[in-house]
Amino acid sequence: MDAKPLNLWCNAQFPETAMDELRAGIGTDRLLLSSARQKLNLAAGQADPLLVEADVAFGQPDPNQITDLSNLRWTHLTTAGYTRYDTAEVRTALSRRGAALTNSSSVYSEPCAEHVLSMMLALVRQLPQCLNDQLTTQSWKAAEHRRNCRLLEGQTALILGLGAIAHRLIELLQPFRMNLVAVRRTLGGDEPIRTFPFREVARLVPEADHIVNLLPANASTEDFFNADLIGRMKPTAFIYNIGRGTTVDAIALRTALEIGRIAGAYLDVTDPEPLPPDHPLWRLPNCWITPHTAGGHHNEFSRLVRHFLDNLRRFHRGESLKDRVV
């Protein structure tokens, strides 16, 4: 058990209610607030002289700085993604000195999974098309929309990646009696559904009605869902990207949508991001876009703080940390 008070550095610009929770929850530990705090947790943090004093970093510290600071024992990220920190240099440096890196996957698994389920249900039940009728022609296309409605029951969803979001999505989809399949980098033997290594994805894509991309951004996943895989999709299939925009070949996807090669795409992430107002994807009738909002929820910042405080108590007690990456 670590009874000694810790120096906790933070560069997140939380709302005052969340900051009050943080201050109240750290007990005798000392809070070091960076002078360059960030309102958006997706942005990269800059090097901060104050971090030199810290035992623990909370937020989005500069990756090079956490690599160099030998006294920094644990870094907790305010995001589920950790691309900036997923380098050999960072992993080696932290592992060498026994330091930990954790993320906030547990905070974002529920909203992201609900987001995917919401869009999946909307598309099979023709809700975007009906909304478009209401906002434009006010046409009563009852026969057409009824004919095009589908049931999730019996359909196949292929999930790319099997992290916290995927596990929660599987729980939400199972009551619909779908055929659920996943691919992941390394099989653990304890997967909740039929799961295959990445090399099997080309065989699985033609069977899928829904392809849910939850892959993180790194060198191995850049354009992972490429022109070949898009070309193997059913003409009636949808792809959903909740991972990172760089994991899908944007040109190949745009071409497939323009010629009606696939039924449609739902994108919460894009490449580039933000998507420029004049980008063709905005105007395609079979492409639906949200501005990286899948993880958003009304008490997001309080949940981030509570997740960190839970891990902080574990850290003090010498227990395993949740959402550990390194």
DSSP output for 56-103: EEEE---HHHHHH-TT--EEEESSS--GGG-SHHHHHHHHHHT-EEE-
Residue listed under structure tokens 């019996």: 154
Q: What are phi and psi of 36, to 5 degrees?
A: -115, 65
Q: Write the DSSP symbol of residue 289.
A: E
| Predicted local confidence at residue 298, as pLDDT | 96
Contact at 8 Å (CB) between 161 and 243? yes
What domains can you pick out in the chain, each with its CATH number?
7-103+298-317 (3.40.50.720), 109-289 (3.40.50.720)
Structure tokens at 153: 């029951």
Strands 100-102 and 30-38: unpaired
Contact at 8 Å (CB) between 172 and 118? no
CA distance 281 to 255: 10
- pLDDT-flagged residues of the chain (< 70): 1-3
| Predicted local confidence at residue 123, as pLDDT | 98
Q: Write the DSSP symbol of residue 193.
A: S
| Predicted local confidence at residue 1, as pLDDT | 58
| Predicted local confidence at residue 121, as pLDDT | 98
Q: What are phi and psi of 246, to 5 degrees?
A: -70, -10
Residue 143, judged by CB atoms within 10 A of its CB (0-12, 13-18, 19+), counts as: exposed
Q: Write the DSSP symbol of residue 27.
A: T
Q: Give the number of other CB atoms < 10 A from CB of residue 195.
A: 19
| Predicted local confidence at residue 322, as pLDDT | 97
Nearby residues of 132 by Cβ (< 8 Å), 6 or more positions away = 285
Tell me the CB-side half-sphere exposure of residue 294, using CA atoms within 13 A. Answer: 31
CA distance 139 to 46: 53
Nearby residues of 278 by Cβ (< 8 Å), 6 or more positions away = none
Tell me the residue type at 120. Answer: M
Contact at 8 Å (CB) between 76 and 51? no
Structure tokens at 194: 């039929």
Residue 194, judged by CB atoms within 10 A of its CB (0-12, 13-18, 19+), counts as: exposed
| Predicted local confidence at residue 39, as pLDDT | 75
Q: Write the DSSP symbol of residue 15.
A: -
Contact at 8 Å (CB) between 211 and 160? yes
| Predicted local confidence at residue 272, as pLDDT | 94
| Predicted local confidence at residue 2, as pLDDT | 60
| Predicted local confidence at residue 32, as pLDDT | 98
**From residue 153, how far is each of 64, 69, 156, 266 by CA, in Å?**
48, 52, 9, 20
Tell me the CB-side half-sphere exposure of residue 261, using CA atoms within 13 A. Answer: 17
CA distance 96 to 85: 15
Contact at 8 Å (CB) between 322 and 314? yes
| Predicted local confidence at residue 38, as pLDDT | 80
